A and B are shown apart, each in its own frame.
Chain A
Amino acid sequence: MSIVFFILAALTITGTAAAMALRNAVHCILALTLGFVGLAALYLQLGAQFVGFTQIMVYIGAVAILAVFAIMMTRSAGPHPQPAFSRTWRTGTLIAVIVFAVLAYAISHTTLAPATLPQPEVTVNQIGDTLMHQYALPLEILGLLLTAALIGAVIVAMPAKQEAPQ
């Protein structure tokens, strides 16, 4: 494991932890984008170029911007008199810590034998071929799902006409 990996890991953990800990919702999203950038860089480090750029494009270009829009529309970025964490935050954090402890125990006590292969060269053509041949059906289903999500999101977020007579 190179030093670059640890720098990127630290960046990712810092960004995501800040995203979950900061009080201001917009700061959370901005920290989250930092974490996503770190994660994308980790993907690049692991040799998955296409996935890394897709990660940036989808998560920063779409999800983060969408979340920011939602924050702006729900006016939840203002100074909050009430606390940013729910009443059960101690329980939640405790559960998360326990989950991490269990996972870490399981990971460190499993004898993994990673294949010491050279960095796999994955080209876009290979990904395209695999998507179009082996994973053609999942791809179609994903397209259907995205279309349904698009329509569904619009319908859910659309103001009901009879309910809001202005």
Chain B
Amino acid sequence: MTTPDTIDQIFVITKHWLLGYVPAPLQPIASAILSVLPVMGVFPLLFAITTVLERKGLGRIQNRYGPNRVGPAGFWQPAADGIKSLTKEDVVPRNADQIVHFLAPIVLVIASFIVYAVLPIGRNMVITDLNSGLLYFFAVGSMVELSVFMAGWSSHSKYSLLGAMRATAQMISYEIPLVLAAVVVIMATGSLSTVTIVNAQTGYTMGFPHWFVFTPWGFAGFILFMIAATAESNRSPFDLPEGESEIIAGYYIEYSGFKFALFFLGEYLGMFATSGLAITLFLGGWAAPFSFLTWIPSYFWFFAKLLVIIGVFIWVRGTLPRLRQDQLMGFAWKFMLPMTLLNVFVAAAWHFLPTGIIRWAVCTALLVIPFIVFSMGLKQNKKLQVRTYRFAE
């Protein structure tokens, strides 16, 4: 470890230094506040940056400029959007259930924020190291479904109710693959604590890291986890709950002004949280990708990985068209669930097979052969024809 500890641990040291000025009986509360406040500041900031990056990236994918008017290269756009949504009139439908309508965005944002409690964003930088941290993450994540339902139902509009029903059905269906894809890591580390999971991946062999993504089951688990995470955070191509063309904006159609912005914030925070969990589980958390890069502080690596995953999310959003509802459900139950269960089996086989090339071959074969069989089976009863274009190409 060539990292100068003062730079790597600068936030931890600062926190302890600040705590020294707090009287002893207040120290637990002060410590909690000092841990929570940076998270509550950094991730909304990341949300602001992501919105502008997403719009610019989508623009470039579609061969146009993104927003480029407000500030240098359009980077003040989120500030303009924020001011706009803050100053807009807050319209509540007359027939809406006023209390539930008001509570829904708050519940969503709170649920999205408190999952960050178990995400280690750097060495010794985690709000609380729960013994059952992963369970906590998934349990709190399930509260998002409820807030989505609250928003859709209380608006008293058929579009929002349809969107909410779609969203909850989709989230329940994809939560199972999400959890099952994470189970392989729990099997490998024998712990539900996120800190222990990251610590298990910090080693290096010949300069290469011990990330779980570099194993057959870890790679498959990562891909499956990311697919399920895309569906969980209602992002394209799984953005049926807010399909603009059929149900306008889904469950938050009746929201305006700041509440709408809160929904947006909550959605992006959920995306960051699941991405952060994917990093923690499969990409080594805050660990550097090569042993000679360990001098760069750990939190930098976490956010670098997070930005890469956000970039992939944007890339996927710019590429894939929206699925149909039956395709979505069929994909969850006919493909994701069997593959994740198979992946659990492969992880167990990996654990019991002797180390060496045979283990790699067996596990890869166990994953790839069923995958090919699956894709052939799923393709057989479809009459796919080559689409011809009259004008494009």
User: Residues of A with Cβ closer than 8 Å to B?
Assistant: 26-27, 30, 33, 49-50, 53-54, 56-57, 60-62, 64-65, 68-69, 72, 77, 123-125
- How many residues of B are counted as interface, with CB atoms below 8 angstroms from the partner's CB atoms? 27
**23 interchain pairs (CB within 8 A)?**
A26-B153, A33-B146, A49-B130, A49-B132, A50-B132, A53-B135, A56-B142, A56-B143, A57-B138, A60-B142, A60-B143, A61-B138, A61-B145, A61-B175, A62-B142, A68-B168, A69-B169, A72-B161, A124-B131, A124-B135, A124-B191, A124-B192, A124-B193
* Binary contact track B130-150/A, C-beta < 8 Å → 1, others 0: 111001101110110110011
Name the CB-closest residue of B to A71.
B153
Q: Is B262 an interface residue (CB 8 A)?
A: no
The minimal Cβ–Cβ distance linking A70 to chain B, given in whole angstroms, is: 12
Task: Given A53-B132, A124-B131, decide whether A61 and B139 contact each other with a Cβ distance below 8 A.
Answer: yes
Q: Which of B139, B146, B192 is close to A65, meaning CB atoms less than 8 Å apart?
A: B146
Whether A65 pairs with B149 at a CB distance below 8 angstroms is yes
B132→A30 contact, CB < 8 A: no
CA distance A26 to B55 in the complex (A): 37
Q: Which residues of B contact A27 (CB under 8 A)?
A: 97, 100
Residues of B within 8 A of A50 (CB): 131-132, 135
Given contacts A61-B139, A61-B175, A124-B192, contact A77 B153 (CB under 8 A): yes
B100 with A65: CB separation less than 8 A: no
B165 at the interface (CB under 8 A from A): yes
Which chain B positions have C-beta within 8 A of A123?
131
Q: Collect the chain A residues with CB atoms within 8 Å of residue B161's CB.
A: 72
| Chain B positions 94-149 with a Cβ under 8 Å from a chain A Cβ | 97, 100, 130-132, 135-136, 138-140, 142-143, 145-146, 149
Least CB distance from B86 to A in Å reads 28
A27-B100, A57-B139 are known contacts; what are 10 more A-B pairs with Cβ within 8 Å?
A33-B146, A53-B139, A54-B135, A56-B140, A57-B138, A64-B146, A65-B145, A68-B149, A124-B131, A125-B191
Bound-complex Cα distance A57 to B139 (A): 4
Given A65-B168, A124-B131, A56–B139 Cβ distance below 8 Å?
A: yes
Name which residue of chain B comes closest to A125, CB basis: B190
